[in-house]
Structure 1
Amino acid sequence: MSIMRESGVKEISSSSIYLNRDLSWIEFNRRVLEEAQDPSTPLLERIKFLSIVSSNLDEFMSVRVAGLKDQVKAGYNKNDFSGYTPAGLIKRIMKRIGKMVGEQYKSYREVNRQLVKEGIVFADYEELNATQKKAMDAYYHDIIFPVLTPMAVDQSRPFPLVHNQSVYLAVVLTMEGEDPSEEPYFAIVQVPNNLNRFISLPFRPNSKKREFILIEELIEHHIQSLFSGYTPIAVHAFRLTRNADLTLNEEGAEDLLEEIEKELHRRRWGVPVRLEVQDGMHPYALMLLQDEFEILDDVFVIDGPLDLTYFMKMAGSLQGFEHLRYPKIEPKYAREFESTTDYFTLLEKRDVLVHHPYESFDAVTDFVIHSADDPQVLAIKMTLYRVSGKSPIIQALARAAESGKQVTVVVELKARFDEERNIAWARMLEKSGCHVVYGLVGLKTHAKITLVVRQEQDTLKRYVHVGTGNYNDSTARLYTDVGLFTANNIIGEDASVLFNEITGYSAPHDWQAFAVAPTGLKDKLFELFKRETEHARAGRPAYIIAKMNSLSNQEMVDALYEASQAGVKIDLIIRGVCCLRPGVAGLSENITVRSIVDRFLEHSRIYYFENGGDAEFYLSSADWMTRNLTRRIELMCPVLDQKLKTTMMEILGFSLKDNVKARKLMSNGMYERIQNELPPFRSQFQAMTINSWKQLQFEDEA
Structure 2
Amino acid sequence: MTQIHIKEDGSRYLNRDLSWIEFNLRVLHEAQDPTTPLLEKAKFLSIVSSNLDEFMSVRVAGIQDQIRAGYAKKDFTGYTPAGLYKRLVSRISKMVQAQYRTYRDIMRQLTKEHIQFLKYEDLNATQRKSMECYYHDIIFPVLTPMAVDQSRPFPLVHNQFVYLAVVLKRDGDSPEEEPYFAVVQIPSNLSRFVPLPQHSNSKKQSFILIEELIKHHIQTLFSGYIPLAVHEFRVTRNADLAIDEEGAEDLLEEIEKELRKRRWGAPVRLEVQKGFHPYALELLQDEFEIKDSVFEIDGPLDLTFLRHFTGAVKGSSKLRYPQDEPPYPQEFEESEDFFEMLKERDVLMYHPYECFDALTDFIVQASEDPHVMAIKMTLYRVSGNSPLIQALADAAESGKQVTVVVELKARFDEERNIAWARKLEKAGCHVVYGLVGLKTHAKILLIVRQEGPDLKRYVHVGTGNYNDITARLYTDIGLFTTHPSIGEDASELFNLITGYSAVHDWQSLTLAPGNMHNKLASLIERESEHARSGRPARIIAKMNSLSNQEMIDDLYTASQDGVNIDLIIRGVCCLRPGVEGLSDRINVRSIVDRFLEHSRIYYFENGGQPEVWISSADWMTRNLTRRIELMCPVYDQAARNMVIQILRLSLADNVKAKQLIPNGKYERIVNDLPSCRSQFAALDISTWKKPEIPTSI
**2:296 counterpart (269, 293, 301):** 301
- The reply to whether residue 484 of structure 1 matches residue 472 of structure 2 is no
The corresponding residue for 1:146 is: 141
Code of the aligned partner of 2:96: V
**1:77 counterpart (47, 72, 76):** 72
Q: d(CA) in 1 for partners of 2:583 and 2:454?
A: 52
Query: How many matched pairs?
Result: 693
The corresponding residue for 1:393 is: 388
The corresponding residue for 1:416 is: 411
| Residue aligned with 1:202, SS | coil
**1:644 counterpart (628, 639, 649):** 639
| Residue aligned with 2:647, SS | helix
Alignment of 1:175-574 (within 5 A): 175-204=170-199, 206-574=201-569
Query: What TM-score do the two structures reach when normalised by structure 2?
Result: 0.98
1:10 and 1:443, CA in 2 relative to 1: closer, same or farther beyond 3 A?
closer
Deviations 1:376-422 (A, max 9, x none): 11100000000011111100100111111100000000000000000
Kept in 2: contact 1:455–1:461 (CA 8 A): yes
The corresponding residue for 1:3 is: none
| Residue aligned with 1:216, SS | helix
State the Cα distance separating 1:206 from its structure 2 match: 4.4
The corresponding residue for 2:97 is: 102
| Residue aligned with 1:499, SS | helix
1:315 and 1:607, CA in 2 relative to 1: closer, same or farther beyond 3 A?
same
**1:164 counterpart (159, 164, 175):** 159
State the Cα distance separating 1:317 from its structure 2 match: 2.4
State the Cα distance separating 1:128 from its structure 2 match: 0.3
- The reply to whether residue 54 of structure 1 matches residue 68 of structure 2 is no
Kept in 1: contact 2:639–2:691 (CA 8 A): no
Kept in 1: contact 2:163–2:234 (CA 8 A): yes
Q: d(CA) in 1 for partners of 2:533 and 2:272?
A: 62
- The reply to whether residue 607 of structure 1 matches residue 611 of structure 2 is no
State the Cα distance separating 1:579 from its structure 2 match: 0.2
Kept in 1: contact 2:552–2:575 (CA 8 A): yes
Q: d(CA) in 2 for partners of 1:69 and 1:16?
A: 24
| Residue aligned with 1:694, SS | coil
**2:571 counterpart (576, 581, 595):** 576
Q: d(CA) in 2 for partners of 1:696 and 1:97?
A: 46
**2:586 counterpart (591, 616, 639):** 591
| Residue aligned with 1:422, SS | helix
State the Cα distance separating 1:470 from its structure 2 match: 0.3
Kept in 1: contact 2:382–2:465 (CA 8 A): yes
State the Cα distance separating 1:371 from its structure 2 match: 1.1
**1:686 counterpart (681, 684, 691):** 681
Q: d(CA) in 1 for partners of 2:6 and 2:232?
A: 53
Q: d(CA) in 2 for partners of 1:694 and 1:55?
A: 34
Deviations 1:35-90 (A, max 9, x none): 00111100000000000000000000000000000011111110000000001000
| Residue aligned with 2:116, SS | strand
Q: d(CA) in 2 for partners of 1:8 and 1:422?
A: 48
Kept in 2: contact 1:224–1:232 (CA 8 A): yes
Q: d(CA) in 2 for partners of 1:458 and 1:206?
A: 72
| Residue aligned with 2:167, SS | strand
Kept in 2: contact 1:174–1:180 (CA 8 A): no
- The reply to whether residue 664 of structure 1 matches residue 676 of structure 2 is no
Kept in 1: contact 2:6–2:12 (CA 8 A): no
Higher mean C-alpha displacement, 388-397 vs 316-325: 316-325
Q: d(CA) in 2 for partners of 1:313 and 1:8?
A: 53
Q: d(CA) in 1 for partners of 2:196 and 2:250?
A: 49
1:467 and 1:696, CA in 2 relative to 1: closer, same or farther beyond 3 A?
closer
1:372 and 1:697, CA in 2 relative to 1: closer, same or farther beyond 3 A?
farther
Code of the aligned partner of 2:102: S
- The reply to whether residue 655 of structure 1 matches residue 617 of structure 2 is no
Quote the sequence identity (%).
72
Higher mean C-alpha displacement, 131-140 vs 365-374: 365-374
Code of the aligned partner of 2:177: E
Code of the aligned partner of 1:579: C
Q: d(CA) in 2 for partners of 1:657 and 1:516?
A: 31
State the Cα distance separating 1:180 from its structure 2 match: 3.5
1:282 and 1:423, CA in 2 relative to 1: closer, same or farther beyond 3 A?
same
- The reply to whether residue 618 of structure 1 matches residue 645 of structure 2 is no
Q: d(CA) in 2 for partners of 1:42 and 1:50?
A: 13
Code of the aligned partner of 2:309: M
Higher mean C-alpha displacement, 176-185 vs 124-133: 176-185
1:693 and 1:603, CA in 2 relative to 1: closer, same or farther beyond 3 A?
closer
Q: d(CA) in 1 for partners of 2:63 and 2:371?
A: 53
State the Cα distance separating 1:340 from its structure 2 match: 1.4
Structure 1's unaligned 5+ residue stretches are 1-5
Alignment of 1:82-97 (within 5 A): 82-97=77-92
Q: d(CA) in 2 for partners of 1:569 and 1:441?
A: 40
Deviations 1:144-193 (A, max 9, x none): 00000000000110000000000000000001232233110000000000
**1:20 counterpart (15, 23, 43):** 15
The corresponding residue for 1:130 is: 125
Root mean square deviation of aligned Cα: 1.0
State the Cα distance separating 1:10 from its structure 2 match: 3.9
| Residue aligned with 1:593, SS | strand
Q: d(CA) in 1 for partners of 2:688 and 2:367?
A: 32
Q: d(CA) in 1 for partners of 2:369 and 2:557?
A: 51
| Residue aligned with 2:138, SS | helix
State the Cα distance separating 1:697 from its structure 2 match: 5.3
| Residue aligned with 1:17, SS | coil
State the Cα distance separating 1:642 from its structure 2 match: 1.0
Q: d(CA) in 2 for partners of 1:629 and 1:410?
A: 19
Query: What TM-score do the two structures reach when normalised by structure 1?
Result: 0.98
